[in-house]
Amino acid sequence: MRTIREGLVSEELQRRFHEAHSVLILTGAGVSAESGVPTFRGGGDSTVWRGMPFEIISSAGMLQRDLPAVWEWFNYRRGKLEALKPNPAHEAIARWQDVFKELSLVTQNIDGLHQMAGSRNVIELHGNVWRARCLDCGARSNARDLRFDRGVPLCFDCGGALRPDVVLFGEMLPTGAFELAAVKAESCELCLVVGTSAVVYPAASIPEIARAAGAFLVEVNPERTPLSDLCDEVLTGRAGEILPLLCQQPNREGGHDASYASIERMRPC
C-alpha cells in the first residue's frame, strides 16, 4: 500500500474521473458535517439525546413504545437543520450531475441538503426528516405543515397518527430504493463513498456490490472504515475540501492546493 501525501489526487483517479460515463456516489452523515449536521458515530462520540443513544430513540421499538418522544427528537433535529446550508461537497456533487452521462446519488442522509444544493433524483435510502407518513393510510405530508395534538401530528386525509418518514433501526427500507441503488451499483464504472462509517446495512453493501461488479472504488473520509481495505483509493480528509478537487486539473507542480488530504493507493495501478 502506498500513501501519497500533500493533497495529490492521483493521476489514475483524475483519468478515471474524467473518462467515466457512469458514476455512483454513496453519501453518509459526514458529507453534511461541514454544514453543521452532527454525525452519528464519527469523532469518538455518538449521538445521545436525553440520555438515550440514537440506536434506541431512532428505533422501530421506540416508535411503538413512545411516538410523542420520537416526534420530540425529530422536531428538535428539524429545528437544528432549519438554519443549515449545503457545503462545497454537496455543491460539487450537484454540479457533477451535468458532467457525467449518468450520475446516481444514493444517500443515507435524511437532511435534504443534497436536494437543497440542486441534486435531482436523489435515492434516499433512509427517508427524509422533512416528510411525515400516516401510520393508517400511508399518506405523506410536508413536516413543515404539521399540527400537533398531544405531541403527535395527525393525517390531513384520514386523521390517523403521523410518524417521521425516515427509516429507523429494525425497519425495512422504502420499497424499491435499495433495489434501484443496487442496480446502479452493478453498472457504474466509478463509485465514490463519501462520509459514511459504512457499518449500517443494507446501505453499506452498495459499494461492495459496485466493487464486485468491477467499479473503481474510492472512499472520502477523515477516518478509516470497514470499507477502506476494499477500496482502490482512500482519500483521507474532509469531503468539502476533497470533492471540489476531483474535477480540477492538477497545477504546474502536479498537485492540488489541499495539504490536508492524502491518498492511500490500495491496489497497484
Is 154 or 203 the residue whose CB approaches ligand BJW more closely? 203
User: Which region, left, alpha or beta, applies to residue 44 given φ > 0 means left and ψ of -120 to 50 means alpha?
Assistant: left
Q: What is the DSSP string of 233-258?
A: EEEES-HHHHHHHHTSPP-TTS--S-
41 binds, options ligand BJW, Zn ion, none, Cβ within 5 to 8 A by partner type: ligand BJW
Q: Which stretch binds ligand BJW (CB under 6 A): 90-98, 189-197, 210-218, 244-252?
A: 189-197
The candidate with the shortest Cα–Cα distance to 108, out of 35, 27, 194, is: 27
Contact 239, 220 (CB under 8 A): yes
Query: Sign (positive/negative) of CA torsion 71, 74, 76, 82?
Result: negative
The answer to whether residue 229 forms part of the interface with ligand BJW (CB under 6 A) is no
- The nearest distance, CB 164 to Zn ion, in angstroms, is 15
Residues lying near Zn ion in the complex (CB under 5 A) are found at 134, 136-137, 139, 155, 157-158, 160
160 binds, options Zn ion, ligand BJW, none, Cβ within 5 to 8 A by partner type: Zn ion
The answer to whether residue 225 forms part of the interface with ligand BJW (CB under 6 A) is yes
Is 12 or 34 the residue whose CB approaches ligand BJW more closely? 34
Query: Parallel, antiparallel, or unpaired for β 140-142 and 102-107?
Result: unpaired
Residue 59 CB coordination number (10 Å): 18
Q: Which residues are designated catalytic?
A: 126
Which residues lie near ligand BJW (CB under 6 A)?
28-30, 33-34, 39-42, 54, 58, 108, 110, 126, 166-172, 195-197, 199-202, 220-223, 225, 238-239
